[in-house]
Amino acid sequence: MIFDSTFLLLIPAMLFAVYAQFKVKSTYARYGNVNARSGMTGAEAARKILDANRASEVEIEQIEGTLTDHYDPRSKVLRLSADVYNGTSLAAIGVAAHEAGHAMQDAQEYLPLKMRNGFLLPVANIGSIAAWPLFLLGLLFSIPMLMDLGIIFFTAAVVFQVMNLPVEYNASGRAIALLTSTGVVTAEESKDAKKVLNAAGLTYLAAAAMALLQLIRLIILRGERD
């Protein structure tokens, strides 16, 4: 990390990221204590959603950690943390439904998901690892080509973060619709479940904002060396 005047560009995104984390934790804690009237666990809710949408082949597994929930499109497995898998709260059910939403995206070949998990993910992984070493070496030894390569690699990581936004927000939208259509929650309860998912969405928005501002910062630093 380089600390200079351009670092000030990151402050708004950093503050937003802190707020997003606070919002997620406080919202999850609030609705983590509100049980759904159906009495279903997160795993049961996800199973009902998947079965009702012809995705019964998707398996559901319990994994360790907190909010480590994710859908693996390669193995067609929906993995839920213990609190979500066994929880009967609106927060747990909302998170489980969100991951089921990703399974629905996969089943319907949702283009942004295919792009994100296809060529963007490996490129972004390489970019996030190689970008800073290349740029810093170029900056320290005044090698413009290395700085340019660093910016190109980092741009790939930024594109991934931006492409991640429609994927995550679409999954949340699907989750709310699926929860109500399958009767897992009532229309009134769905409003509270939506608050949990909206709060989680802020973290993805904050990550994209941080990545974009970092890219702008690298471009400014590169321009100062011309």
DSSP conformation class of 8: G
How far, in Å, CA of 138 to CA of 132, rounded?
Answer: 10
How far, in Å, CA of 200 to CA of 212, rounded?
Answer: 19
Of 215, 92, 80, 196, residue with least CA distance to 151: 215
**What is the bridge-based pairing of β-strands 77-81 and 70-72?**
antiparallel
**Whole-number pLDDT of residue 3:** 64
pLDDT reading at 205 higher than 70: yes
Q: Which pLDDT tens digit goes with each residue over 176-187?
A: 999 999 999 999
Domain ranges (residues) in the chain:
5-224
**Whole-number pLDDT of residue 105:** 96
pLDDT reading at 62 higher than 60: yes
Considering 44, 57, 61, 99, which one is annotated as catalytic?
A: 99
* Mean predicted confidence (pLDDT) in 166-175: 96
pLDDT reading at 114 higher than 80: yes
Predicted structure pTM score: 0.89
99 catalytic? Reply is: yes
**Whole-number pLDDT of residue 174:** 95
pLDDT tier, 66 (very low <50, low <70, confident <90, very high otherwise): confident
**Whole-number pLDDT of residue 2:** 59
Q: Which pLDDT tens digit goes with each residue over 11-42?
A: 999 999 999 999 999 999 999 999 999 999 99
Q: At what angle do helices 144-181 and 121-140 cross, to 10 degrees?
A: 150
